[in-house]
Amino acid sequence: MRTYSSRLIAALFAVSLLVPTLATAKGEYGPPKKVTKWVFQPCFDSSDAGWGSGLVPWVKAVEKATKGTVKIKLEPAGAITAGSEAFSATAAGMIDGYAGWATVYGGDMPEGMLAFGMAMGADNYRDAWVAMFGDPKYRIGDIIQKAAHERNLHWAGWTSQGPNAAFTNYPVNKMEDFKGKKMRAGGPQALFHEAMGGSPVSLNAGDIYTAIKLGTIDGTYFDTGGIDDMAFHEVVKYAIMPGWCPSQHQEIFINLDQWNGLNQWQRDRINEVFESTYFETSRLHAQGVNHALEVLKEAGGEVIHLPEAEVKRIREKSIKEVWPKVAKKSEGCAKGVALWKEFMKDLGQM
């Protein structure tokens, strides 16, 4: 199996994506005198792990890189619009920026599912980066950026939140154990759970705890580092690892008109922090994953690590049954899934 070093990834990305644009005329390239003020509202609030470990470090890096010529105010979900509407509100210019998952699981932009993470796809954030940006052979990120621009958005940030795993009240030692179980799952999670023979249930995040406690559902798929924030350790017994998506990601989008309103120097500076904040925030989330699992174990829960042979079975089924459904979402999705398959073959996982 082949892996990639962060040094190689950084070098490839620096060459392929972040070469600064030269000034078109002498004296034009540099920080402007005007300060641009943006308001961002993600589809979550400050209690979510994605706030402090994903969005805030990116905001700080942008403000520093642009020498204070870009200032960003963060508002929690619901402050301006509902969390589920924040992506489309950003495209419409109601708010200047958004952070969330696969554009709320791909509904507003199917290609976002490629960035969120494929079912049993990349094992870690380093490999995910290679497929998305780091190796010019794949560059799946270009497909997503094109789709974003077509929706009046610019994709400006990305972070891995670690495994999006199953948190259940029943043990899972093989994929057949999911059969007939009711799990809260949306978008690509639902596609996966259906493929495993389960029954996906659509619920708002705030309703998950009560639904598990009352027995309405048997568990939930969720980013592992966020389960302690949601107090799921109080109502579930098991964490099933590595989860349906070993490296789930969160994205940051800026209204394209606002993005184009910056000068080239500012855009280059923001592009330059894409890579560094990806690795910084992904490491922060990895630490959060370890902490959350310890909280679960201290509460009497059990972490079940599926054996390698079973992970292989689930991956094969996911690629055969789930990935084609993602590919059918759009032409861009079809191209992205084909590249994901090529990447997984090169890793020796197909």
17 band by pLDDT with thresholds 50, 70 and 90:
very low
| Whether the Cβ atoms of residue 31 and residue 265 lie closer than 8 Å to each other | yes
Specify the residue for token string 């048997």: 218
Note whether 85 and 195 are same-domain residues: no
Angle at the Cα of 260 (from 125 to 83), degrees rounded to 5? 55
What mean pLDDT is predicted for residues 22-31?
64
Note whether 240 and 260 are same-domain residues: no
What mean pLDDT is predicted for residues 299-316?
97
Q: Answer yes or no: is 1 within a domain.
A: no
What pLDDT is stored for residue 104 in this prediction?
Answer: 84
Given a cut of 80, whether residue 5 has pLDDT beyond it is no
What pLDDT is stored for residue 27 in this prediction?
Answer: 54
Note whether 13 and 64 are same-domain residues: yes
Report the CATH number that the domain containing residue 330 is assigned in CATH.
3.40.190.170
* Of 20-29, 65-74, 152-161, 248-257, the least confident: 20-29
Picking from 310, 290, 337, the residue whose alpha carbon sits closest to that of residue 121 is 337
Task: Classify residue 205 as exposed, middle or buried by CB count within 10 Å of its CB (0-12, 13-18, 19+).
Answer: middle
Angle at the Cα of 260 (from 259 to 265), degrees rounded to 5? 85
Given a cut of 80, whether residue 100 has pLDDT beyond it is yes
Tell me: the pLDDT tens digits for 180-197?
999 999 999 999 999 999
Final residue of a domain: which of 287, 309, 336? Answer: 287
Given a cut of 90, whether residue 28 has pLDDT beyond it is no
Given a cut of 60, whether residue 3 has pLDDT beyond it is no
> Average per-residue pLDDT in the chain?
92
Q: Answer yes or no: is 27 within a domain.
A: no
Q: Answer yes or no: is 71 within a domain.
A: yes
Note whether 311 and 209 are same-domain residues: yes
25 band by pLDDT with thresholds 50, 70 and 90:
very low
Note whether 183 and 221 are same-domain residues: yes
Note whether 305 and 182 are same-domain residues: yes
Q: Answer yes or no: is 28 within a domain.
A: no
Q: Answer yes or no: is 302 within a domain.
A: yes
Note whether 204 and 310 are same-domain residues: yes
What pLDDT is stored for residue 19 in this prediction?
Answer: 44
Given a cut of 90, whether residue 216 has pLDDT beyond it is yes
Measured CA to CA, the distance from residue 336 to residue 114 in angstroms comes to 7
Given a cut of 60, whether residue 13 has pLDDT beyond it is no
Tell me: the pLDDT tens digits for 237-282?
999 999 999 999 999 999 999 999 999 999 999 999 999 999 999 9
Note whether 12 and 115 are same-domain residues: yes
Note whether 174 and 119 are same-domain residues: no
The domain of 263 spans 6-18+34-161+250-287
Tell me: the pLDDT tens digits for 30-63?
999 999 999 999 999 998 889 999 999 999 999 9
Note whether 273 and 129 are same-domain residues: yes
| Domain total in the chain | 2
Measured CA to CA, the distance from residue 71 to residue 99 in angstroms comes to 16
User: Helix H segments across the chain?
Assistant: 6-16, 49-50, 56-65, 86-92, 102-105, 112-116, 125-129, 140-150, 188-195, 208-214, 256-260, 264-298, 308-317, 323-327, 331-347
Q: Answer yes or no: is 26 within a domain.
A: no
Given a cut of 60, whether residue 21 has pLDDT beyond it is no
Q: Answer yes or no: is 280 within a domain.
A: yes
Angle between the 331-347 and 140-150 helix axes, to the nearest 10 degrees?
Answer: 160
What global pTM score does this model have? 0.90
Measured CA to CA, the distance from residue 347 to residue 350 in angstroms comes to 8
Note whether 208 and 266 are same-domain residues: no
Note whether 172 and 150 are same-domain residues: no
Tell me: the pLDDT tens digits for 132-178?
999 999 999 999 999 999 999 999 999 999 999 999 999 999 999 99
What pLDDT is stored for residue 350 in this prediction?
Answer: 85
What pLDDT is stored for residue 7 in this prediction?
Answer: 47
Q: Answer yes or no: is 29 within a domain.
A: no
Name the DSSP class of 319. Answer: I
